[in-house]
Structure 1
Amino acid sequence: MPIYPIDVFEFPTNLGLNKKEEDEQPGVYVLPEHFKTYGLYDQLPIQNRYTLLAPPYEIKKDAVSGILNIEAVAHYALQQAELLATALEEKTFKLMIGGDCSILVGNMMALKQKGTYGLFFLDGHTDYLPTSSSHTGGAVAGLDLAIVTGLGDDRITNLNDLKPYVLEEHVFCVGNRELDDSYVQPILDSAIRYMDLPTLRKTGIEHIVNQFLDMVEQQQLEGFFIHFDVDVLNDLIMPAIDSRQTDGLDYVELIQLLRPLVSHPQVVGLEITVFDPHLDRDGIYATSFIEQLVDIFS
């Protein structure tokens, strides 16, 4: 188990996702309840549980930035940071359940208010693009890494004058498998340490994790946070997402990655995003995912 008890933070927002034509709205907002139904909370040493309700879903594209729901996402991020301001003082592991990837904004804001932290960004996409190049129609869930490192409109990248919420050189982006040259070029031009899925497997999981932890130590960071978008997983074991791709990490690889990170004394917490229970009505994928997550914490 983690070295501290677990505090669960439920951030059930879907404002960072674009709507598919067949959807009533993206179903990621019911993930906390889905995990509760299939036993996650019963299997972990949870000390406290917090819920921050999100505004109703909308599709409102900003005329200036092109970012979808920029005002609503920014407001929710400010509420997250306020909630976390006190909670981060507690010696607990913060397990944050989305929602979509836009919850990274408020989480990294809260950490920036506290000090200088690193980010281990585990995702099937880089989410590092200027809005004009976004493959997601300006949805924040496809721009979150760019936003937290200061790329984009100040109305979301510079809340409370905290830009950037994390320095590029303190970020490892791991697991991307959207390998089109135009998609990956922006992150290659940044100071972020970038390892796509083929590079991760070639270099070795243990080596990448150790490199990240060495960076945290060498940069004298006060700690680090883990972003875990479940679309980094193999499509055969996690199809309940909005942007499916072939291949991806299997659960053995995931455990090798996350276990040494969640058990490290400088870890602050882990966020889980983009699992859509509307695509897992019978709980098959939740049941297997929870089993593996509990194993990671064991």
Structure 2
Amino acid sequence: MIALISAPTNLGLRPPARGAVPGTAKAPEALREAGLFDRFLERGARDAGVVLPGRYLDDDGRRAPGRARNEQPMLDHARRLSDRLRAVLGRGESPLVVGGDCSLLIGAGHALAAAGRGRIGLVHIDGHTDFRHPGNSDACGTAAGEDLAIAIGRHWPALADLDGRGPYFDAARTVHLGCRDDDEHLDEVRPLLAETIPASEAMRSGMADAAARVRTALAGADGYWLHLDVDVLDASVMPAVDSPSPGGLDAGQLTGLLRELAPGAVGAQVTVFDPDLDPEGRYALTLAGILAEGLRDLGSRAG
């Protein structure tokens, strides 16, 4: 059974303007309004509630060096999300976390590590590698742009080793799919991860072939966690994200990719949709359709 968890956080994002607040915290309810939850519930899914975040603060210029934006409330949220995920996994259900920004990967990784699932892989589907870290940048501190580095232990211990649970995922059991060819960290992640598939390669070969490469790379894992940042979609399809870019997947391609990968996932998270950039609700409807079809068999073949 799929268990839907709302995680309306924006704590890992930089403010869109000085003093402003990112809109990703509104995403779960915008997608609920677009029919996403009803479509899953009609098929027998369960609503597993909401994990609320702390207050977002624009703390630029005030936080100490080596600390992330909104660090303490973000880590508090990660722990509470981890608790909810472990309860869902303990019931034998497949969690679908509807967020929220990419910092949700801390809570997901923490949950899997705390549950003793250290051989779970990570499929990181994202329009960017999100691999900024202290070893390659002096501009660290925005966790939603650094989540892959955090997930495999390449970041500050406060983020990457929460409660001594890191690294949350082994790089040798991690796949990235979806970045653009000009991603600044593409050459760095290729030799580190089990497989790296830019969007252009996936589109050339087709989604079935790309998914087969993912499954082959993770053949030694005990299933995998599926991370989806919706900016993997082309900007013409999904402009309602903080960093839209051309060269991404179309709606049909992403739906097909998720249909291929969702059955083998132990759970999934959806991130970075921003309803503030979708005042008419048009893109919420598009995304709800992709997710309802692409993730309908989430966890059905996870072992």
Give the one of 122, 146, 150 matched to 2:149. Answer: 146
Root-mean-square deviation over aligned CA pairs: 2.0
Matched-pair contact (CA < 8 Å) for 1:9–1:94:
yes
Matched-pair contact (CA < 8 Å) for 1:12–1:28:
yes
Q: Does 1:30 align with 2:26?
A: yes
Contiguous gaps of at least 5 residues in structure 2:
298-303
Matched-pair contact (CA < 8 Å) for 1:134–1:143:
no
Give the aligned residue type for 2:12. G
1:22 to 1:154, Cα distance in 2 relative to 1, 3 A: closer
Cα shift readout 1:133-174 (whole Å, capped 9, x = no counterpart)? 459762100000100100111111111211110000111100
Shift, 1:295, TM fit: 2.2
CA distance in 1 between partners of 2:223 and 2:187 (Å):
29
Give the aligned residue type for 1:39. G
Query: How many equivalent pairs are there?
Result: 289
Matched-pair contact (CA < 8 Å) for 2:199–2:247:
no
The aligned residue for residue 269 of structure 1 is 267
For structure 1, which segment, 160-169 or 52-61, has the greater mean C-alpha deviation from structure 2 after superposition? 52-61
TM-score, length of structure 2 as denominator length? 0.89
Matched-pair contact (CA < 8 Å) for 1:18–1:136:
no
The aligned residue for residue 54 of structure 2 is 55
The aligned residue for residue 223 of structure 1 is 223
Matched-pair contact (CA < 8 Å) for 1:123–1:173:
yes
1:103 to 1:136, Cα distance in 2 relative to 1, 3 A: farther
CA distance in 2 between partners of 1:136 and 1:64 (Å):
10
The aligned residue for residue 209 of structure 2 is 207
Secondary structure (helix, strand or coil) at the match of 2:39 reads coil
Percent identity over paired residues? 30
Cα shift readout 1:238-284 (whole Å, capped 9, x = no counterpart)? 000111211210012112211021123xx211111000011111111
Matched-pair contact (CA < 8 Å) for 1:93–1:269:
yes
Shift, 1:66, TM fit: 4.9
Secondary structure (helix, strand or coil) at the match of 1:42 reads helix
Give the aligned residue type for 2:249. L
Give the aligned residue type for 1:31. A
Give the aligned residue type for 1:176. C
The aligned residue for residue 157 of structure 1 is 160
The aligned residue for residue 186 of structure 1 is 188
CA distance in 2 between partners of 1:192 and 1:177 (Å):
18
The aligned residue for residue 290 of structure 1 is 288
Secondary structure (helix, strand or coil) at the match of 1:9 reads strand
